[in-house]
Structure 1
Amino acid sequence: MPPEPAGSWPIIGHLHLLGGANQLLHRTFGVMADKYGPIFSVCHGIRRVLVVSNWEIVKECLATNDMVFAARPKYLAVKIMGYDHAMLGFAPYGQYWRDMRKLTMVELLSNSRLEMLKHVRDTEIKLLLKDLHDRSIKNGGHVMVEMKEKFGNLTMNIIVRMLAGKRYFGTDTNGDEESARFQKALGDFFYLLGLFLVSDAVPFLGWLDFVKGFVGKMKRTATEIDSAFSSWVEDHRRNRLNGSIDEEERDFIHVLLSNLEDGKISAVDTDTAIKGTCLVSVYDFCHQVQ
């Protein structure tokens, strides 16, 4: 067993050593690593967490013993907002995880599929440049622009168009209510997903998360996100029923519907698998931008 820092308390474990408004977690772990070595464990409430700070040990964990570390513990936020862990990145290791990972890598993220959707990236870049040019002309050739927001909108429009053929961010979205609600719901999702919840560390104290209002906010956010994703899936189903779809118009949801509804993959709930994949795609791309 790896060494464990002294000072663990009943129920909360080492949580009291990891908190503090002016205390950065990675620096706390760095100090512990200097004392206890490149691998040690801490108690995160009732959960035992392995902390590794050596590349050789990391390789041992994620390459040699990757199957052991493939799964993740279940969290309340992912259960409520992430379709009960149907998001690939948070799904427990098993047949569903293997099937969805294979489908994602072969059908969605293959070089041929990304090349087929190259026109989406080209169009969005042209729209961004046109917007910057129009702003410059309107202001006499000089204008200050927050490029972080622009690049964020660019990336999000690319991924949402590749997923569902829609534009939800930046210009040309007409400021419609659906776009605004989706953007707000995503912002709330990322905020709530990053919160520390008592129930994740000490499950029998989970009622504190209800008292603080976190659970209610998560349920409302989940409803908003699910409403958007459900409309995407239903729109694509109608398009499939109304006639053939050009190969260039086959976005990710079309591909997922073809594979899941044709029985090519084992999934208990087709819609949940599709919406979970959409959500994890948006989640991953947002983190790349940040």
Structure 2
Amino acid sequence: MTQPQNNTDTNNLSLPVDEHEEEVQEGDKRIRRKGVYLLPNLFTTGALFAGFYAIIASTQGSFEQAAIAIVVAGILDGLDGRIARLTNTQSEFGVQYDSMSDLVSFGIAPSILMFNWALTGLGKLGWAIAFAYVACAALRLARFNAQVHTADKRYFTGLASPAAAGFVATMVWTGYEVGVGPAIGLLCGMVTLAVALLMVSNVRYQSMKGIDFKGRVPFVFIIVTVLLFTIITIDPPRVLLLIGILYAASGPLQAIFRAAHSRLKPKS
């Protein structure tokens, strides 16, 4: 005897191909809404496009343009979630779409960029490192999604994939301007693998999500921000690479400091 189909499944099957229904929290109630929020998903789509462009550019030897595209993707990715929170347009669809975009822009794109720029001369080792980077980015994103509702918002567990991609992209960008690449392929491979492992590590990083963009800040904060942007414009690849190195190193250094502090702390 044929079992009757679930009503929810039937309703979903009857929807047009471009429709989407999702349960959202409004006050104390969960209600179903059709459609998706436009503004945050436009930024996510922009980040996805930038990542896709980076893949195409790197396969055609336009390494500088590819690196810049990944940096742009990182900026757009940083904006979509904050805009969603500021405008109260968060949704489960947005979370999943952002994750898919991140895998392309911050997993596949930097891996292909680094491989085409410096790792091709390493043969099988080169593509193994490139694949390891993609796999670690995918695992990092999956872990983030699984812990998104329970994790401490002040910290990331492991280096975030946009930060890792920015590190790789600015390393290529700087190296391209200097004129190195295949000559330091092994070094680049080792650094890429180290960054990949940081993504799946348990090292904690500051998430910067505690910044209240709607609140008041000291006037000096604005001055420091202006100075930072000014310094970046002087030499974007090198300054951004330096920022990436400092941020990537901050997690392990803080972990070492905490471990040393706990050992020196007198036992009660």
* TM-score (normalised: structure 2): 0.28
Is the helix fraction higher in 1 or 2? 2
Higher relative contact order (CA 8 A, sep 6+): 1
* TM-score (normalised: structure 1): 0.26
User: Which one has a bigger Cα radius of gyration?
Assistant: 1
